[in-house]
Amino acid sequence: MRIGAHVDSTDPLAEAAARSADTVQFFLSDPQGWKAPKLREDAERLRAAEVDLYVHAPYVINVATLNNRIRIPSRKLLLGHATAAAAIGARGLIVHGGHVNAGDDLAVGFDNWRKTFAYAADSGGFGVPVLIENTAGGDNACARRLDALARLWDAIGDHEVGFCLDTCHAYAGGEELLGLVDRVKAITGRIDLVHANNSKGAFNSGQDRHDNLDGGTIDPELVVAVIRAAGAPVVVETPGGVAGQAADIDFLRQQLGTERSAA
Ligand SMILES: [Zn+2]
């Protein structure tokens, strides 16, 4: 099983080595900004690497919203990131499920997701698997709770779309981790990546505050159980820099009884 971390984008392969990780996730641009990603000068080196790469799309992207001034640039930015992620041989592009504003109809939000995939298909396709990630907060989210996720998949499930399960977001979002993988797979049919994080916030607090696996409010054994059941690659998005993340990766390898995959 491949296990890694979310790292700084300057030299992701060095970050992977520092953590003995065989998988890394990083941003291709400022996660709070609207700038299109530039093609990376180290694209060839990244493509050739034995480390598996995942790209996290900016947080500002919200393709579900009814607000045109957010939705339209979100679509373009998502497609731009998909193109740039494909250029470095990334295994997936992770994007948050998004939300509609208070008082807006969530059904329109799901239809906006459908239109996003139609837009991408008209533009030649994303070129990389797009993995929609569950989120922790908000009352109008497309992928916080599983009832909404089921409606989202009704809208987009015919397209090639993957799912990224974040344990912190699920727990803080109000979904019990016990049996969660089966309940998710009953909707999506797949889990492509697990974001293994503990949560500083309490169950159903709606707080997106990651903690190291041995800290926080979640029993770490439950996180391990989710990973086992999902059978998907794992990325920790935990604090503490190299030392904190390396300890989380070591903990998971010990619990799961797996060795580092890459040489
Ligand atoms: Zn995450």
Q: How confident is the model at residue 263 (pLDDT cuts 50, 70, 90)?
A: very low
Q: What's the Rg (C-alpha) of the chain?
A: 17
Alpha carbon of 54 to ligand 1 centroid (Å) = 12
Predicted structure pTM score:
0.96
Task: Please compute the mean of the pLDDT values over residues 89-118 and round it to a whole number.
Answer: 98
Cα of 96 to ligand 1 centre, how many Å?
8
CA 195 to centroid of ligand 1, rounded, Å: 5
Indicate whether 144 pLDDT > 70: yes
pLDDT at 261 (0 to 100): 60
Q: How far apart (Å, rounded) are the C-alpha atoms in residues 258 and 250?
A: 10
Q: Where do the domains of the chain lie, and which CATH numbers do they carry?
A: 3-256 (3.20.20.150)
Rounded to whole angstroms, the Cα distance separating 194 from 167 reads 8
Exposure class string for 217-233: b at 16+ Cβ within 10 A, else e: bbebebbbbbbebbebb
Ligand 1 centre to CA of 231 (Å) is 17
Question: Cα(105)–Cα(110) distance, rounded to whole angstroms?
Answer: 9
Confidence of residue 255 (pLDDT cuts 50, 70, 90): very high
pLDDT in tens, 46-58: 999 999 999 999 9
Question: CA 221, CA 252: separation in Å to the nearest integer?
Answer: 10
pLDDT at 260 over 90: no
- Cβ(13)–Cβ(243) under 8 Å? no
Residues 150-160 pLDDT 10s:
999 999 999 99
pLDDT at 258: 76
- Classify 53 as helix, strand or coil: strand
